[in-house]
Structure 1
Amino acid sequence: MRLHRLAVTAFGPFGGTQTIDFDALSAAGLFLLHGPTGAGKTSVLDAVCYALYGGVPGARQTSGPARLRSDHADPGTRTEVVLDLTVGGRRLEVTRQPEQRRPKKRGTGLTTDKAQSWLREYDAATGTWKALSRSHQEIGEELAQLLGMSREQFCQVVLLPQGEFARFLRAGAEDRARLLGRLFDTHRFAAVEQHLAELRTAAQHRVRGGDERLLVLGQRMRQAAGGGPGPGGTPLDGLAPGDPGLAGAVLEWAALARSTARERRDIAAAALRAAQEAHAAAGRRLEEARELDRRRRRYAAARQRAAALAAGEEEHRRDRARLERARAAEVVAPVLDARERAEDERRRTALAEEAARGLLPAADAQAPAERLAGLERAVRRELGTLEAARQAEERATRLTAELARLESESGADEELLREADEWLADWETTRDAHQRRVEAAAEAASQAERLARRLDTLRRKLAAARHRDALTAEESGARAELTETHERALAAKQEWLDVRARRLDGIAAELAAELSDGAPCMVCGSPEHPEPARPGARHVDRRAEEAALDRHREAEEAHRRAERRLDSLRERLTAAAAEAGETSAAELADEAAALETEHTAARRTAAGAADARAAFDRLLREHDSRRTARQDAGRRAAARTSTREALLREHTELARQVARARGTAPSVAHRAAELEHRAALLAAAAEAAGAAETAARRLKDADARLADAVWRAGFDTPRAAAGARLAELEQRALQHRLDEWQAEEAAVAAELADPELADAAELPPDRLTGAETALKEAVARLNAASAAHAEADRRCAELDGLSADALADARRLAPLREEYDRVARLAGLAAGTSTENEHRMRLESYVLAARLEQVAAAAGARLAYMSGGRYTLVHSDARGPGRGRSGLGLHVIDAWTGRERDTATLSGGETFFASLALALGLADVVTEEAGGLRLDTLFIDEGFGSLDDQTLDEVLDVLDSLRERDRSVGIVSHVPDLRQRVPVQLEVVKTRTGSAVRHRGPAAG
């Protein structure tokens, strides 16, 4: 990789645009980069790193994009870095602009520009630049692939910080491991160590969990067995998870517990069988005693039942006689019921006849039934002659009603014609009035809509005008505040610059105050301090400068807040003024009030538009209705005249027919109703007389049959037969009592005749109590034996299950224990804690040791050249003191003494040689690790102040040798002698308006 040109604008301490021509600096092969502290030497290298990686090295990256921008830059100038370089055989130009705030192009205030990046490639065939990408991600991926190094590796390789490598030489193994791990990215090997440790821990947890489960199963088996197998304890006593032989001890205890439990179960089974036999014998004896007791109680009960039967013998005979008379009365019952029905029918028909004859005239009331029937037939014949006259009378009535209706309709039509003529006479005037009302309402609605739009616009302008006036007053106060904060910010900045200048003027004294005898100077590196600077009267310390800087920043922040507030107010004021115009709020308010009044009047008029239109529509419909009604009334009057004449002629003829037929009755219908009523009375009386005669004959026949049935059943009179009758339910109940008596009598006789019952009655009653007591004792013994056997059986089953679980767990635990042993061995080897790892070297340390061996080999050759063949760097894998790492040792071999010693014993000048050689060797190894990328531009930072003139010449010769094959080396140093020895220089000069770069030497001219 070769750098050609770097252009920075508003970056870091550079307020304007500064261009660095690396081609001109590299022409001599060796150039010097120098300048006062804080001028911006490091910012040059930061710009290169930012162009390639989009970020600056180390802790400066955490400051954010805002700190990349120069405080000296003009607000309108964008921060930008442009780098022209050749990498991987391609000439590229990278341009980056970080995110930054700038003044708005329109209005006031600030706006934020997003970060931007450009990548171009030079086409040698056409001599032009070709755009490749504007994507941050694509540019980063492209450059990372070409460079092959991370940002940290690039900064470590291109910029060789001698101070860090001097500390590296004196550092312990852990510090060296951290630096090498960061450069060579060996954290993946540390991750392997961690992963193996985690696998070991996980396997250990699994094995320990298995052991704990086995112990738990052992304790459960001890509980299931009811304690240990003997007074000597169990094989489980004293065991803990992780103990060898744990699984065997648990399985041994399980076998012993199972055997003991089975012996106890067999003993309990024998005891249970004996208790069962005793219980069965006691049960049989109890059954025999109970049977004898039942027989004794049965015989006593039979004697009591026999006494009860003897006491109820008389009542039994009465029931039997009563049932026999009831059954004899059942033969007479049908005839008796028939005679009662005949009596009821005769009485009912007699009453009906009497009522029907009472409705007839006196002349007909006593006539026989045949006479009454003949009179009815004569009335019916006369009624038939009135049917035609009755129909004529009904037709005459309908004609009278029709004539009355026609007369009424004629009067109504005449009234309708009169009203219609009167209404239609004013039709034209009424229609024009309604038409004008509809048109006026429609015009008012249109006007109200136009006024509403104007009023809405005017109201918005009035609100905007009032808002504009309020913002104008607020904007005046914001401008005054901005002016005040700007003046305070300028004063604070001037104060900070003055304090900073005073401190820089006396910085030498401040640095001298930290010197101590024998310690190297942090500026020149010399351990001798013959004339340290003294502070002047105006000197201030770091705290004073930082306090002034804090006041400056606070004032700047207050100024920015005032700017943002004023910008916001101006934007809102511009929008309000654009909407309100130039008219004052008072004028707009007056105009709005007048327009509101006019709009209210128009709305009131327009509100009647719907009613006016509806009234006009109703008027049109009424006009059409009245014209139609007038025409219909004329047609009806003409038709009505002819109809009335025909109806009058028919009505006169029907009246003559009706007068002849009704006689003295008011009407034919009245005459017909009279005849119909008389015929109905005669028919009812004839029917009732015939029914009464028939019922009397039936009653006489029923009396004869009843007398015969009573005599045959053995009763004296029908009343006696009726008194002996019983209801069916009562008969069944009486028969049931008789049957129960007979059955009870037979059962008692059988019980008293049984010899076994008689013998049992002679035995004493206390034999049952003794048998029950014996059975209770046998049951208690059986329950105890059964519970003991069940408990023994449960213990055996539980021990079998737990033993099976223990065996399964032991089988599962065996491969887990093997896995744990294997993983623990690997983890111990990787962590360096295993006895098999002789050097106690961790895996990451082993890889780092290999890298350090490569670095030492590359650095040793350079150190031998720089020291004239005296010193050579070698790698040592010896174990560190105490518990320190091994494999990361660095020794130097002194050819003059032939002895090997630690690098921490080197002097200041020797340490510089060794650290420079180590830095160059590390650069070679890292670039080879990154894919063999050639670095044609290198920078070496500080450490030259500790060298004498001869050693400095030798170092410069070594650095000059790096120029082979067009490689250029830049030295970053404050040493004045280097300005005389290195003719080509890049000087960084700082001023109050920002830093600048100057090229000096042959290439500058």
Structure 2
Amino acid sequence: MRPITLTMNAFGTYLEETTIPFEQFGTSGLVLITGDTGAGKTTIFDAISYALYGETSSGNKRRKPEMLRSDYADAKNKTYVSLTFEHQNEQYTITRSPAYFRDGYATKTAATVEMLLPDGTRLKTAKDIDGETKGGTILFPGKIRELLGISLEQFRQIAMLAQGDFLKLLHAETKEREKIFRTIFNTQIFFDLQEKISATYLDRKRRYESLRQGAEEQLGEIRLSEEETYEKKQPEAEECWERLKRNVKERRLEVLDEIIRDLKVVNAVDVAELKKLRAAEERMREHLTKLQDYDREKERQRRNQEDCEKFFQERERLAVQVQSAQEAYQQAAGIDQTPWIAEKDQIQKQLEIHGKLEMIRSNCKKSEADWKNKEAQIRQEKLSAEKMAEEKKKIIEQLKLWETLPIRQEQNRQRREQWKAQEEILKRLRYMQEEIYKKETELGKIRKRLLGELCRKDEANQKYNELDTKSRAHMAGIFAAELIDGSPCPVCGSISHPSPAGKVSGVPTAEEVKRAQKELERAKEACDHTQEQIQRTEAAVETEKNHLRQRLSELSKASWETKRFEEIADYLEQLTEKITNRIEELAKEHEELEKQKEKQEAWNAQLEMIEARQKGQEERQKQLQEDRERLLGKYLSDKSTLEVMEKQVTSAKEQLESQLTACIKTLEKIRRDTEAAQKQYLASKELADKTEGQLRTAKEEGNRLQNLLKEQEKELFRLEILSGTEQEGERAEKEAFMKEACAQFHEAYEVYLLRSDKNAECVRKLEKREKELGQAETEFVQIRRIHAAANGNYKFETYIQGVYFDQIIAQANKRLTMMMHQQFELKRGEKTVGNRGLDLFVYDYRTAKNRDVRTLSGGESFVASLAMALGLSDIVQQHNGGVKLETMFIDEGFGSLDADTLEQAIRTLNQMSKGKCLIGIISHVEELRKRIDKKIYIHKTNQGSQAELVV
């Protein structure tokens, strides 16, 4: 962006409409803005910033738009700023007016903004021009940001280095630099990501701790069996509980499985106790039912003896069947397989032929694919050739349009020479005009001198006449004194003398009269000489005017003999402007023709390249045609071989199919017979083995029953003796004891069932909570690692900003080395200590030590700040799509530099400005006024500020 004109009206200290034509300063170099304190130098920067972004530029004390109206303005004077600027060789004009109150009006004048685009389109809404944001997020960038590619804060840092902002970046702490870089380099997204990670970490941590607390509460609800059993199991449970708490703290949730297993062991103990009680009940009930069981066992023994006899008979029958099945299987296995082996070899050969056929078929398909691929390549090459031919045709047509280019260039050259010749003639005429002006000026001076000389002549004449008159009167008095009445007068001859002349006082001497006479003669001679000089000069001026009219008549082909010289002067001015404009037009035409010549050369080069490509393409097409013919021959040969072999294979296939059908039928019959015999043999063998096993089992069962029968007979005999000797009261007491024991058992069993159900429910809940806690722990551990990386000692956003900061420091040190003769350089602080990765230090080469930037002197701080600002400007331009800095403004600070450092700073800025960058500097330094030729003087008056340009 390069400002062309800036217009301010009733803005800040400028009451009247003030226009600053920046275009007069050119496209590079330094411009000094100087003047009285408070005159309005910084207001120029504010006006540019306000016109572009709707806000001012002035350091920490930035004024709000409502404060920009001039205090000198009356109600009728409108406040506005209009900036015309150039961007990418196109001009844009933006006019902006702030909201303000007017004297005598209750309502506030609304803010307005309007932007004129190069195509004549006018944007009249702030949304279209300034864009739209919501919560720091850019919803729509707006035309200004779309053109310039940078935000207001970035503009302030790279193009409008405001008063008070210089030292901010140099002396800022890490947190302050984070805020500055967050705005400049748009790292808000990383800061938001850190905040989101932190919020997620706290949420996962709360959920994990809540689930862990729930697990602890759930474990507390588990109940063991009786108090005695609980006291036995309590230390074990407490130990498990302590392990759970330790391992939960160590994020080892596997201990829950161990706790659940321990609880299951406790329940298993309860189950074992229950089984003991039930076993005791069963034993008691067995004693009551043994008499009934005795009769049933006896009956079962009788049935088992009958089954044993049946098993012996069945075993004899199955042994005969197994023998016959074994003979049949051996007969089936002994069939002669020689004929089938020959058939197998023949089939194997046919399969080999079939494999060769498949290989030939595959080769044929590959040949066909290769041939078709070459066909496609040939078609593609044809299309490419047609495209290149079309492109070549267009280039040739374009070159035909430029065939007259040399003629037009020659015509342009001749016209430029003609107009330059006229310009030379005009320069001579203007020189003659200047000479005439000089002689007329000289003539005016001579005429003025003549007036003085005429005055002096009149004075000398008056003086001489007075002296001569007195001298003659004195002589007349002398003569009169000698006159006698009646005697004739020696002068007039009269004899009557009624009033003779008297004596005169103050009579001059003859010398005085003679001297006055000489002065009069000299005055006359001077007047005569001057008059002659005037006549000669007038004649020369008239001659030159006539000569000028004659030459002008020759130049314009019109008569100028009767024209006034003022008309001639006006015509020369007009002719000068016309010739200048025409020469400029011809120069632009020359530049355009040169561009067309470059384009013509480029088209010629492209034509040569296309012709070379066409030649290479023709060779490729020739090679492709040869490859296609070769592949087509191979494909036809493979296809012919394939057809012959397919016929042979078809014939062999039919023969083999008939043979195979017969073989399959025979083999199927043999397979069925063999399988039947094998199945019969295996079934018989299995049945025999089974029968043998059943027989052994029956024998064992019979022996067991015999032994059991003997024991039952002994038990029965003992019970009969007890029952015969037992008293009636003791029997009743035992029956009552057994009933009470059964009731206690049932009660304990019910309690156990309730406790077991509740514990089982707790275990199920713990198992479910174990999964949730495991998932929560996994999520918590993951987010904790991410949180530690993003929000630890060295935050993620700080790391990103540190990359930019390193680049800024590197660029700053390049200029700092030049300006400070390599006395010191800037270095970044440690990256991992307390998140201070954006701290800045100074490495002093004289002491070989690091020191704080606040130890720099005022001048050193300014130079370092300037280097930092320029480095920041470089990096912002690089990271914003190649934004090109064409204008930079720097506000104050040069007064703190010594002569040598000031010289180096100016030299650095001059080198920057050589790359087509205009740099404006606000300063009171007298040395800068001497060194910088382009200036804007701001004068403070009682009616507002005024600007004066010196180019």
Give the TM-score, by structure 1 length. Answer: 0.44
Q: What is the TM-score normalised by the length of structure 2?
A: 0.47
